[in-house]
């Protein structure tokens, strides 16, 4: 969905022709997979982080158009609402110093963005859900001026026959609401981790990304409040799923954890896209079939929490990436890169040592672990390999963090660098102080003064300290 489209209105013929192109491009990708002609190059790491623009008071600042004009940087692009932007880091190979480099790049880009934001009397903030955002802010007057967003709204409502979107989230409090457009999605900002991987390893990496989604979302949870209600530790999960709810079943939900592991090949996801998901944005493109342009656009309108992507490498060959989407934005640049280090290290170690992971943790358990961890954070109880049970915090401290360290060493990361980043994860798990826990504690002590909480949060974010070290 990162690409712009030329118009937002479509005919039935557009849908028909687009679908034919998706079918042809899926067949070509399948042939390339079978023939081994996809990019087999080295694994690479990349990321995207979505952020908020806020006022001095901590309220949404709908000024991204002027902000982006001043930035004039292809790494910083619009998001759905005019108070959100997305920052992209450059892909890097796995090597010593990579996480330090990723942090330096992100921190430098963030500082430049903050300078640009202050020109509009605004500030940058990385947080999963901005606690001060109101339902009235999430309106079409605040949608970014891009055709793809207008089209997304029109087509989602078309598929719902004009019915409003229904929001129903139950936790410590119960939030029930209706909304007339897709702008609810704008309240959810994430840190998306990208793993470019040889195609023959993609299915395993995809399955293991699902398996570790529970500890990833528990450790990174940063979205406990929405519209004044205290909800899940990572309320972004049910909010995003309900904000574009057009699927009639688990087999056609646009935002989904999925219905099973990949059994043989990552192609199973693209075949499901072709067979089970109606076309949402049928933008016909004058592009050769080898560009897979329609397949990629269609895939971009299906927001799996772990999503396989097809990209085109500099050598002109298509490659496969896994996009891990469960992690929210923030709370600090240090926390963000530590989350990436934990993900990459753990994936690498599990791929090397857990040969029968899918058999040892049934898919239904991985799925239940994910939603329980999104709701309860590090206090959630999960089932792990071979039926082991316990809190997700203990699982991380006793097993997963040591495995992530071993995985980073396998990737060529030095001991000191691995320790520097994973010590942040370990301290967060040991203290149980995620961004979500810090926000809950602040509100518990100070009452539901969300603007004051956002200001306190931004002050600590600017302190260049990870969230486990923040004072309430």
Q: What is the pLDDT of residue 432?
A: 98
**pLDDT in the model for residue 235:** 98
Per-residue pLDDT tens over the stretch 262-295: 999 999 999 999 999 999 999 999 999 999 999 9
Q: Please list, in sequence order, all residues whose beta carbon lies within 8 angstroms of the beta carbon of residue 300, skipping any fewer than 6 positions away.
A: 1, 2, 3
Give the separation between CA 16 and CA 168, rounded to whole angstroms.
35
Token pair recorded at residue 268: 């199973």
Secondary structure letter of residue 327 according to DSSP: P
Buried b (16+ CB within 10 A) or exposed e, 99-126: beebbebbbebbebbeebbeebebbbbb
pLDDT in tens, the chain (472 residues): 445 455 567 899 999 999 999 999 999 999 999 999 999 988 999 999 999 999 999 999 999 999 999 999 999 999 999 999 999 999 999 999 999 999 999 999 999 999 999 999 999 999 999 999 999 999 999 999 888 898 889 999 888 888 999 999 999 999 999 999 999 999 999 999 999 999 999 999 999 999 999 999 999 999 999 999 999 999 999 999 999 988 667 777 899 999 999 999 999 999 999 999 999 999 999 999 999 999 999 999 999 999 999 999 988 899 999 999 999 999 999 999 999 999 999 999 999 999 899 999 999 999 999 999 999 999 999 999 999 999 999 999 999 999 999 999 999 999 999 999 999 999 999 999 999 999 999 999 999 999 999 999 999 999 989 999 999 9
Alpha-carbon span 135 to 30, nearest angstrom: 43
Helices (H) and strands (E) in the chain, counts: 17, 15
Cβ burial, residue 255 (10 Å; 0-12/13-18/19+): buried
**Which among 268, 300, 302, 307 is positioned nearest to 29, based on CA atoms?**
268
């Amino acid at each position: 969905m990162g690409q712009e489209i030329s118009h937002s209105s479509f005919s039935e013929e557009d849908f028909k022709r687009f679908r034919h192109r998706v079918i042809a491009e899926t067949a070509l990708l399948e042939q390339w997979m079978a023939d081994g002609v996809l990019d087999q190059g080295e694994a690479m790491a990349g990321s995207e982080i979505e952020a908020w623009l806020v006022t001095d008071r901590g309220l949404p600042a709908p000024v991204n158009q002027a902000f982006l004009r001043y930035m004039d940087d292809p790494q910083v692009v619009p998001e759905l609402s005019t108070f959100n932007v997305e920052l992209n880091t450059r892909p890097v190979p796995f090597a010593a110093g990579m996480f330090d480099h990723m942090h330096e790049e992100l921190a430098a880009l963030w500082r430049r963005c903050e300078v640009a934001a202050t020109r509009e009397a605004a500030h940058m903030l990385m947080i999963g859900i901005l606690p001060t955002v109101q339902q009235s802010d999430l309106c079409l007057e605040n949608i970014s001026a891009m055709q793809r967003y207008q089209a997304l709204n029109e087509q989602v409502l078309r598929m719902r026959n004009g019915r409003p979107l229904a929001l129903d989230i139950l936790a410590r409090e119960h939030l029930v609401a209706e909304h007339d457009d897709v702008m609810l999605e704008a309240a959810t900002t994430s840190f998306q981790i990208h793993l470019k991987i040889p195609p023959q390893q993609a299915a395993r990496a995809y399955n293991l990304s699902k398996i570790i989604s529970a500890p990833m979302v528990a450790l990174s949870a940063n979205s406990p409040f929405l519209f004044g209600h205290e909800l899940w530790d990572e309320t972004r999960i049910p909010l995003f799923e309900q904000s574009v709810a057009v699927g009639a079943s688990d087999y056609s939900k646009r935002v989904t954890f999925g219905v099973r592991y990949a059994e043989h090949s990552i192609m199973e996801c693209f075949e499901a896209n072709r067979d089970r998901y109606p076309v949402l944005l049928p933008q016909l493109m004058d592009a050769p079939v080898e560009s897979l342009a329609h397949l990629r656009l269609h895939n971009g309108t299906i927001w799996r929490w772990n999503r396989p992507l097809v990209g085109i490498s500099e050598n002109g060959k298509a490659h496969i990436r896994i996009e891990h989407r469960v992690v929210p934005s923030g709370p600090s640049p240090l926390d963000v890169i530590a989350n990436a280090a934990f993900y990459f290290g753990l994936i690498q170690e599990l791929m090397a040592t857990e040969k029968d992971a899918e058999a040892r943790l049934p898919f239904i358990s991985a799925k239940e672990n994910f939603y329980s961890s999104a709701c309860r954070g590090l206090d959630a109880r999960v089932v792990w390999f071979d039926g082991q049970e316990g809190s997700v915090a203990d699982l991380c401290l006793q097993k997963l963090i040591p495995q992530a360290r071993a995985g980073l060493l396998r990737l060529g990361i030095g001991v000191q660098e691995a320790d520097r980043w994973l010590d942040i994860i370990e301290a967060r798990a040991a203290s149980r102080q995620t961004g979500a826990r810090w926000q809950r504690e602040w509100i518990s002590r100070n009452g539901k003064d969300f603007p004051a909480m956002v200001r306190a949060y931004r002050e600590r974010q600017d302190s260049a300290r990870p969230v486990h070290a923040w004072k309430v």
